Every structure is written in structure tokens, then in C-alpha cells.
Structure 1
Amino acid sequence: MAVVRDLRVLLRFGNFRRLLAVRLLSQGADGVYQVGLATYVVFSPEKQTSPAAIASAMAILLLPYSLVGPFAGVLLDRWRRRQVFVYGNLLRALMAAVTALLMVAHVPDWLFYVSALCVTAVNRFVLAGLSAALPRVVDAERLVMANSLSPTAGTLAATAGGGLAFVVRLAGADSDAAVVLLGAALYLCAALASLRLSVALLGPERALVRPRLARAVRGTARGLVAGARHLAAPERRAAARALAAVTLMRFCYGALTVTVLMLCRYAWTSDSDRGLALLGLAVGVSGAGFFAAAVVTPSAVGLLGPLRWIVVCAACAAVLVPVLGLTFAQGPVLVAAFVLGLVTQAAKIATDTVVQSTVDDAFRGRIFSLYDVLFNMAFVGAAGVAALMLPPDGRSVLLVVTVALVYGAVALAMTRFDRR
């Protein structure tokens, strides 16, 4: 009820409502487009999906966040944010339509991937701009509330968009291209919704003096290096160890995600539509684990402390992954998906707490940028490793055992550090 009340207060600000509409449409389109992309790569009847193809799709979805993310602010401080929303969403609508055309035309895979990469790269600028624009549409008293509710609403919109894409695809859409075109239409709606905001409203102020672009980019890179050095100091070893632990756990989650994708596609059914439905169920179960982590972690961290809670999460995964995963059966693997969603998100929340409490405020933004890069690169790297180890049907005892050993090593290393 408190969330509803807070949102009702924020919606009294007309420009906040307009900016929120842009966010909801934009991130809803992201959810539709990403599911359309994934189902084309994994579940198209005419395509023989391989782990390598899945790894390529994951790289497209995540590499722009890793490589472009830290530098997005450098350019955003030079462009009108409202224009970023208008032209960024128009460009994504156009490129998404091109992606749909390439799907129908059955062009070489590399050309399809280039088109998809353009869409996801622009997304980083739009999301960063939405966050940067919030202080321009609410007062200072309600800024924290807006920073809490607005991204959450965007995540829910992306989830709803993904669900809509699954429904459209399973309801009998002729092709994945139709789903991607739906995403393109939503991107266009986001661009049109941006026109309701005045050009100068969202900033940045033109009067500000900014360094040259090359100097600003170099400064950002030096800032990331300085953040890494700050993290390496002896008094911040807890934050460094927690970041290393959560990066390895994210790697494990990524490798097992590819495994589940292949099981849904080939091992559990020969029908691509049923496989897609199973994937949707697995995603939903893992998402429920993420939600459960948000519920239980505050109490667990208060009782055990963040480092010991990471140990518990990694140890549980080390035990349950082989017990449930080596069956390669639907029921146990879906239970494992819930457990992995819970422990991965719980470890991330605990790591956020450690970083926020031990890192100096002046370095906190740079550390979280570095954190973002590590988190996404671990997922992409895991997909690449899985591509090398997985057979076509996804049943790899070696991969499951390797992931369990990594979880066990994380639990052991964090236990030894906590004792010291």
C-alpha cells in the first residue's frame, strides 16, 4: 500500500507522468524485442540452434551494457535528453524493423546480429538518459522516491513486454519477425510520447562548460582505473572479495541459463512451441527466485551479515545444483532455476550492501560502473564457455559439476576471508 501511495503522489507531477510513459513504452519494447530475438535464435523451427548461437545472442544483449555503459554519460552531457529519447527510439524502431526484415529474408547470421546489436547499444543511452532526467521532473523532496519507483516500474514493463511477446508468439504469430515488429511499434510509440516533453525541460544546461569529448572519454577511463585501485586497498578487501564472489556466481548462473535453453529446445520436447512455453515457465520460476531474494535477504543479512549470507547462498547452490541439475528432468531443473534465481540475486543484494558501506562516497559511482561491467561480462563469458562444453541437447554432466565446484570454491574462499 505504501508503494501505491508513493506512486500516487509522484503522478501528480505532470512531467513525471510523461517521462514515466516514455520509460514504460521504451522498456516494454525492450522486453518484446529481446524475447523476439531470443525465440528466433533458439526456437525457430527452420534453425538448428546451437550453444554458440545462444552465446552470440547473449553477447548482443549484454555487451553494449558492459562496453558502452560507463561512457554513456559522457555523450549524454552533450545532447538534449529529450532529443535522445525521440531520436533514440526512432532509430530503434527503424533498426528493429530492419531486424524483422532480415529474419524473413534469411540473411547471413552476422548481418542479423549487427542489426540487433545496434538496437541494444542505443538502449543504454536511453536508459541512462531516463535516470539523469528524473531530477528535472520531480522536486528534491521526492527524488529518492522517484529513483526507487521509476526503475522498478520500468523493469515490470520490460517483464510485461516479454510476457506479451511469449503470448503473441504462442498464440499463432506467423513468425518471430511479427514479434520484433511489435517491438518496433512500441519503440515508435515511445518516440511519440517523448514529444509531449519540451526540448529544454530535461537538460542538460547549455551554459555548462564541458571538456572536449576525447578528454572526457579518457577521464572516464582513468576514473574506472582509479576506482579499481581504490577497491584494491586493504581496508576495502571485503568489497573486493564480495565483487569477485558475485561475479563468479553470475558466471555460473549464465552457464546454467544456456543449459536450460538447450534443454527446453531439444531435450524436453521436439515441438518448438512447447519448448518456448517451457522456457517462459523457467524464466518465470527464476524471476520468482529473484523476488524471494528481495524478501528474505534483508533479514538474512541482518542476522548473518552480508559476507556470511553470500557464503550460505554459494554453499546452497554448490549442493543443490548437482542434486537437481544432473537429473536433466523438467521438475528438478525448474526447482534449480528458482534456487539459482534466489541465490544469485541474494548475493548481489548483499554485495551492494558491502560496497555501499565500505567504499568512499567519492568513488562509489565508479565502483558501481565497474561492478556493472563485471556482472554483464561474466554472463557473456559463461555463455561462451557453455558453447564450448554443451552438447546439442544441453545434457552436460561436466558443465553441471564444474559450476557446482565454482560455487563451492566461492563458499570456501568467502568463509576463510570472513574468519580472518
Structure 2
Amino acid sequence: MVDAHAPVALWRSVRGLPHFWRLLELRTASQFGDGLFQAGLAGGLLFNPERAAGPWELVAAFAVLYLPYSVLGPFAGALLDRWDRRSVLIGANAARLILVLGIAALLASGAGDYSILFGALIANGFTRFVSSGLSAALPDVVPRDQVITMNSVATATGGAAAFVGAGCMLASRSIFGADNKGSAAIILIVVIPVSIAFALSVRFPRHVLGPRESARAIHGSVVYAVATGWLHGARTVLAVRTVAATLGGLATHRMALAFNSMLVFVLVRHGDTHSVAGLGTAALFLFITGIGAFLANVFTPMAVNRWGRYRTANGSLVAAAVIQFGGIGLQIPMMLVCGFLLGAAGQVVKLCADSAMQMDVDDALRGHMFAVQDALFWMSFIIALTAAAAVMPADGDAPGLVVAGSAVYLVGLMVHASIARPAQTPG
């Protein structure tokens, strides 16, 4: 039975942590802007009547936006453990603001896809920098015994803000239009939440977000710290079994999500009504997946408290493998249902991974960890997206990809179960 007073108690706990509350405000503004920006970019490039897009264009868009950062992110992540994270957030949000204005101008002028994607790549890199910084800073403003709960609150709030931002894109698109100038107007709106995120970053006192002094800190010049960022990140992952195991499970979830996203994209683009409903259906799939993830933020702390991180993550991966197979018929309504359930299962694994990095990794290396997670997040997605595009028929009739998704989840289960055995984890 659910305690009716639990939401009130949680609210009081959040309000009782002033720096965490500010962090929550910043995350909300930042991810609202990110949701609006990403959806606006997708609408402007992939579902724009003035531009053509197919499976390989989808792969190219994701690859240009995320792959370079995924390779370079863990190097730059060293800066989150080297410099005052408040200063990093201020600088990154200021850079985002300038870049959003430039991208809006490129869209309005009808510039080519790759010039827009190049600008978006740089903007996205700063956005991911902000995201990693917020996650790395959370344990510095929250007591250890509340990290799992407050991480769920932060993730749920940020995820909800991102999807509201994406929804605002759809509403704005109906007002400004789907052409280049309409897409530019939508991107221009992103200036508002990014400006708010910048102002909120300035409000933090210096050094309150870490990093803390530690014997584990990487010494030497800034150039050395950045150059060895990948190395220190990889070493830490391998040294902390709970992190390595949950990141392995998370990577397989992202690969299955890539298969499903490609299937939905091609199916709606191939349909007779894709010019009218294609963007709406694709957005609905992502929205419903996000709703599942949002709900997972609510029940994951209870599941972890009852069964521990190890069994909770294992159970989610088993459930995901079974649910994934439900989309074998390639019927959009059923794929939407599966997307909702898989969003929940995948988010449980992600929250277990976040908790492992926030509780089992020294603060001096936590920025490295979240940058590595972000890189793994997108590299696995893009690799799977590319593989799906290579075998995808024009009409999207590829049930084998659904089966492959189930198999990938089972691989993730074996990786997690074998690496993070109970005798070797704190629970």
C-alpha cells in the first residue's frame, strides 16, 4: 500500500536541500531547452517538406550530432573533475546560447544539412557537458543516504522537462510552419530556457558543486588531465564492478532502442500518410517511451530498497528481453506499448548505473564517469542505428531487428549478472 503522505515528505526533503533545489531548477530549464532544440532540429531536418530524409539521413544526423562528442567527451569530462563545476556550467550555457542563435540563422537562410549539423554538434557537446556536470555534482549537494531518491527526482524532473520542450516544438510547428523559416523560429525559442539555465548557473556559490579535494584526484597540468581523460575513465569503470556491469546493461538497452527507433521511423515514413502524421507518430513513440522512463523514476528507489541494485537491474533486463519480443508483428500500436514498457525497464537500469557512479566512485573521478557513460550511451545507439539501416528494407518490414533487440537484452543480462555478482557488490 502506498503511503499517502510520501509525496509531501519527499517534497519537504527536496525543499530542505537548497543547493539541490537550485540544481533541480537548472536541470529543468536546461533539459526543457534541450528537448525543444533536439525536436526542433529533427523537425527541421528529417520532417521538413523542403528537405528529403531516409534511414541513412537519420543515421547521419545522429552520427554527426553525437559521435564526435562521444569520442571526445571523456577527455573533456576530466575538466569536470579539475575545474569548479559552477564555472564549467556557466561557460557551457553561455556557449550554448551563442550557438543556438547561429543555428537559427543557418536554418532561416536555407543552409545545407551538414553546416547546420556541424553547428548543432558543437551546441550538443556543450549541452552534454552541462548534463554530465549536473549528474556529477548531485552527490556534493545531497546526503549519501538520499542519493538514489534525489537522483530519481532529478532524472524524472529533467526527463519531464525535455518532453514538455519537445511537445512545445510540435505546438510551435503548427504556428510557425514546417519549412526552413518556421524551423528557425522554433530553434530561436530555445534561447529563452538556455538563458534561464545560464542565470541559474551564476546563482551557485563558488565550489559548492565540487570537485572536492581527494587523494584520487588527477594531478599534473590541465593538458595532461584532458589527454588522459579516456584512460582514467576506462580504468575506473574496470575497477568498479557495479559501474562496469550497469553500463554494460545500459549499452544493450540503447542498442535495442536504436533498432526500435529505426523501425518506427521507416514504417511511418513509408506509410501513405507520413507527410501528415509521420512526425507526430515518431514523436509519440519517443514521448510514450519517455513516459515509461518517467514512471520508472518513481518506483526504482522502492525496488532498489527492497531487492538491491543487482537484482533490480537483472530483473529489468529480463523483462526487457520479453517485452521487446512483443513488437515482432511490427504493428505501430503494439510497438508503442512496448516502447512504454521498455522505456521503464531501461530507465531502471540507467538509475542503477547513475547510483553506482554517484555512490561507488570518488568525487575526484565522477566527472570522468558521467562523460564515459554519455559516450557509451550514444556510441552504442549510433552503432546499432547504422546496423539497422544497413539491413532495413524500404518498407521497414524487418521483424528480425525485433528478435535482435531481445537477443541484445539477454547479452546485457549476462554481462550484468556475471560482472556484478552479489558477493562483489555493496548491494
User: Residue 236 of structure 2 corresponds to which residue in structure 1?
Assistant: 227
Match of 1:403 among 378, 402, 405: 405
5 Å-filtered alignment, 1:124-203, equals 124-130=128-134, 149-150=153-154, 152-173=156-177, 175-192=182-199, 194=201
User: Residue 262 of structure 1 corresponds to which residue in structure 2?
Assistant: 266
TM normalised by structure 1 equals 0.77
Q: Conserved in 1, the CA contact under 8 Å of 2:252 and 2:411?
A: no
Counterpart code for 2:9: A
CA distance in 2, matches of 1:125, 1:319: 35
Query: Relative to 1, partners in 2 of residues 1:408 and 1:199: Cα closer, same or farther, differing over 3 Å?
Result: closer
CA distance in 2, matches of 1:306, 1:203: 26
User: Residue 291 of structure 1 corresponds to which residue in structure 2?
Assistant: 294
CA distance in 2, matches of 1:410, 1:60: 27
User: Residue 26 of structure 1 corresponds to which residue in structure 2?
Assistant: 30
CA distance in 1, matches of 2:71, 2:344: 27
Provide the aligned length of Structure 1 versus Structure 2: 406
Moved more, 409-418 or 368-377: 409-418
Match of 2:110 among 106, 109, 125: 106
Query: Relative to 1, partners in 2 of residues 1:44 and 1:81: Cα closer, same or farther, differing over 3 Å?
Result: same
User: Residue 253 of structure 2 corresponds to which residue in structure 1?
Assistant: 249
Q: Conserved in 2, the CA contact under 8 Å of 1:100 and 1:177?
A: yes
Q: Conserved in 1, the CA contact under 8 Å of 2:156 and 2:297?
A: no
Moved more, 404-413 or 99-108: 404-413
Q: Secondary structure at the match of 2:284?
A: helix
Q: Does residue 216 in structure 1 map to residue 225 in structure 2?
A: yes
Query: Relative to 1, partners in 2 of residues 1:293 and 1:8: Cα closer, same or farther, differing over 3 Å?
Result: closer
C-alpha deviation, 1:266, in angstroms: 3.2
Match of 1:279 among 273, 278, 282: 282
Query: Relative to 1, partners in 2 of residues 1:44 and 1:150: Cα closer, same or farther, differing over 3 Å?
Result: same
Q: Deviations over 1:204-231 (max 9, x none)?
A: 89xx997312222244343224325425
Structure 2: give runs of 5+ residues left out of the alignment: 1-7
User: Residue 373 of structure 1 corresponds to which residue in structure 2?
Assistant: 375
C-alpha deviation, 1:296, in angstroms: 4.9
TM normalised by structure 2 equals 0.76
- Based on CA coordinates, which of the two structures has the bigger radius of gyration? 1
CA distance in 2, matches of 1:129, 1:71: 14
CA distance in 1, matches of 2:90, 2:370: 28
Q: Secondary structure at the match of 2:53?
A: coil
Match of 2:74 among 70, 77, 92: 70
Counterpart code for 1:220: G
C-alpha deviation, 1:34, in angstroms: 0.9
User: Residue 333 of structure 1 corresponds to which residue in structure 2?
Assistant: 335
Q: Deviations over 1:182-210 (max 9, x none)?
A: 113432343355556678987889xx997
Match of 1:389 among 381, 388, 391: 391
C-alpha deviation, 1:337, in angstroms: 0.9
Q: Conserved in 1, the CA contact under 8 Å of 2:108 and 2:184?
A: yes
Q: Deviations over 1:235-294 (max 9, x none)?
A: x4x76555434322321122212222233333373334x222222322222122223434
Counterpart code for 1:252: A
C-alpha deviation, 1:371, in angstroms: 4.1
CA distance in 1, matches of 2:317, 2:152: 28
The percent identity for this pair of structures is 33
Q: Conserved in 2, the CA contact under 8 Å of 1:42 and 1:265?
A: no
User: Residue 5 of structure 1 corresponds to which residue in structure 2?
Assistant: 12
C-alpha deviation, 1:388, in angstroms: 1.5
Counterpart code for 1:275: G
CA distance in 2, matches of 1:336, 1:108: 36
Q: Secondary structure at the match of 2:274?
A: coil
Moved more, 275-284 or 123-132: 123-132
User: Residue 5 of structure 2 corresponds to which residue in structure 1?
Assistant: none
Q: Conserved in 1, the CA contact under 8 Å of 2:323 and 2:338?
A: yes
Q: Conserved in 2, the CA contact under 8 Å of 1:269 and 1:275?
A: yes
Q: Secondary structure at the match of 1:116?
A: helix
Query: Relative to 1, partners in 2 of residues 1:302 and 1:9: Cα closer, same or farther, differing over 3 Å?
Result: closer
Q: Deviations over 1:294-316 (max 9, x none)?
A: 45555666776655555554444
C-alpha deviation, 1:394, in angstroms: 3.0
Counterpart code for 1:26: S
Structure 1: give runs of 5+ residues left out of the alignment: none
Query: Relative to 1, partners in 2 of residues 1:399 and 1:140: Cα closer, same or farther, differing over 3 Å?
Result: closer
Q: Conserved in 1, the CA contact under 8 Å of 2:317 and 2:413?
A: yes
CA distance in 1, matches of 2:35, 2:404: 31
Q: Conserved in 2, the CA contact under 8 Å of 1:43 and 1:265?
A: no
Counterpart code for 1:279: A
Q: Deviations over 1:156-202 (max 9, x none)?
A: 33232222222212345452222111113432343355556678987
CA distance in 2, matches of 1:276, 1:337: 16
CA distance in 2, matches of 1:123, 1:254: 21
Moved more, 210-219 or 69-78: 69-78
CA distance in 2, matches of 1:395, 1:255: 12
Q: Conserved in 1, the CA contact under 8 Å of 2:81 and 2:211?
A: yes
User: Residue 41 of structure 2 corresponds to which residue in structure 1?
Assistant: 37
Match of 1:93 among 97, 107, 115: 97
Q: CA RMSD in A?
A: 4.2
Query: Relative to 1, partners in 2 of residues 1:209 and 1:243: Cα closer, same or farther, differing over 3 Å?
Result: closer
Moved more, 393-402 or 19-28: 19-28
Q: Secondary structure at the match of 2:190?
A: helix
C-alpha deviation, 1:332, in angstroms: 1.1
Q: Conserved in 1, the CA contact under 8 Å of 2:176 and 2:185?
A: no
Q: Secondary structure at the match of 1:271?
A: helix
